[in-house]
Amino acid sequence: MTAMLDPTLPAEYEDLRKAVEAFAREEVAPVIGDYYERHAFPYPIVAAMGRMGLFGLPFPSEYGGMDGDYFALCIALEELARVDSSVAITLEAGVSLGSMPVYRFGTDEQKEYWLTDLCKGERLAAFGLTEPGGGSDAGAVNTRAGNVGDSWVINGSKSFITNSGTDITSLITVMAVTARDDDGRAELSCVLVPSGTPGLTVEPGYSKVGWCASDTHGLVFDNCRVPQENLLGERGRGYAQFLRTLDEGRIAIAALATGLAQGCVDECVRYVKERSAFGHKIGEYQAIQFKIADMEARAHSSRLAWRHAAGLLLAGKPFKKEAAIAKLAASEAAMASAREAAQIFGGYGFMNEFPVGRFYRDAKILEIGEGTSEVQRLLIARSLNLV
């Protein structure tokens, strides 16, 4: 008997895909270039995404969510990134890095208090992991959270934290050292820090190569005091919590990267039908056709990879290797396709007014954020038991 895999999306996912596709095309595409050029956060777009329920997609209705799942979130991310990655990463970070740790590891009281506004998109949450001296060594945490009386007192700094400094940011989950054993090994825990807490300083936004309409800041904690009940999950389980968070987030980034790769195809197909050179539409030339064919193949393969990883996640099966494969394949596909799209557009591809110029600037971070390509290769190699 031959097993057949049906690649067609079930109706509820396809309806979501179409709705987000239309939103991205009609509401995001006409205005996002201006936000990008001004390095301005697109509050009206984020509010509209909230009204659509996108920030609540994978959460239950008891917290204001849509009773969906992580696959639905990734569908939305891919469609948004076909038009703009700043908007897509705002959703990705707000859900998979911001709200999801509270949902996965929080107490009933924490979930009830924080998730309702987060699911509506009326507030945003951030995850404070990376530090100035950390990078790929995500476990090299120097930020400290000391247990003083009935409080945690936090000191240290974080870097490159998405959604940490908007006017609607309400919460930052902070990874910190809460103790050390006799051998100096760190006990890592996560602590919830509300925005505006005394001792928390949000540094000026970064001047970034890409994702220029998203919010990214460094954070400084100087005797920042929060109640003991702001501990997220079990003390000492912070490392395991962020590993789970990053594994899921890699699937989401793979979906986002797939959207960028597909957006390159969309833009190039339109352009080559309009642009003429040497008496012919440039789409008639085989050199151009082959470039776009390769771009389409990369987007298709990336889509299969992230959907496979997401399917394993939803089925409750191990997915770490598949998430790493999807993230590696999709991010490198996005970078390669953005480079080729800029080449097809020629001089116009070097202009920010054209989407492919933004795509080119946005693609590189996909090979770095939420685990570099080198880290993904390391994870894949380890899974093969080579030594």
CATH number at residue 197: 2.40.110.10
**Do residues 267 and 356 make contact, with C-beta atoms less than 8 angstroms apart?**
yes
Per-residue pLDDT at 14:
96
Instruction: Give one DSSP letter per residue of 42-53, joined into a string.
Output: -HHHHHHHHHHT
Cα separation, 339 vs 242, in Å, equals: 32
**What's the pTM value of the predicted model, to 2 decimals?**
0.95
Average pLDDT over residues 63-92: 97
Show the tokens assigned to 291.
Answer: 């470039």
Domain termination site, one of 183, 218, 235:
235
Q: For tokens 């930052």, what's the residue?
A: 172
Q: For the chain, what is the radius of gyration of the CA atoms? A: 21
Structural domain boundaries, residue 56: 11-124
Q: How many domains does the chain have?
A: 3
Residues that are catalytic: 370
Q: Tell me which of 235, 259, 279 is where a domain ends.
A: 235
Q: β-pairing, 276-277 with 280-281?
A: antiparallel
Q: Strands 124-128 and 169-180, how do they pair?
A: parallel
Contact by Cβ (8 Å): 339, 233: no
Q: Is 79 in contact with 204 (CB distance < 8 Å)?
A: no
Domain match, 59 and 70 both: yes
Task: Give yes or no: residues 130 and 223 share one domain.
Answer: yes
- Place 382 in a pLDDT band, splitting at 50, 70 and 90: very high
Residue 89 pLDDT > 60, yes or no? Answer: yes
In terms of domains, do 222 and 309 share one? Answer: no
Average predicted confidence (pLDDT) for the chain = 95
Regarding whether 244 and 349 lie in a shared domain, the answer is yes
CATH code at position 307: 1.20.140.10
Domain boundary among 81, 102, 124: 124
Angle at CA of residue 100, ends 307 and 242, nearest 5°: 90
3 state SS of 302: helix
Model pLDDT for residues 15-62, shown as the tens digit of each residue:
999 999 999 999 999 999 999 999 999 999 999 999 999 999 999 999
- The CB density around residue 210, as the number of other CB atoms within 10 Å, is 20
Question: What CATH code is carried by the domain that includes residue 17?
Answer: 1.10.540.10
Give me the pLDDT at residue 185, please: 87
- Within this chain, do residues 289 and 347 fall inside the same structural domain, yes or no? yes
Question: Would you say 151 and 226 are in contact if contact means Cβ atoms under 8 Å apart?
Answer: yes
In this structure, are 96 and 194 located in the same domain?
A: no
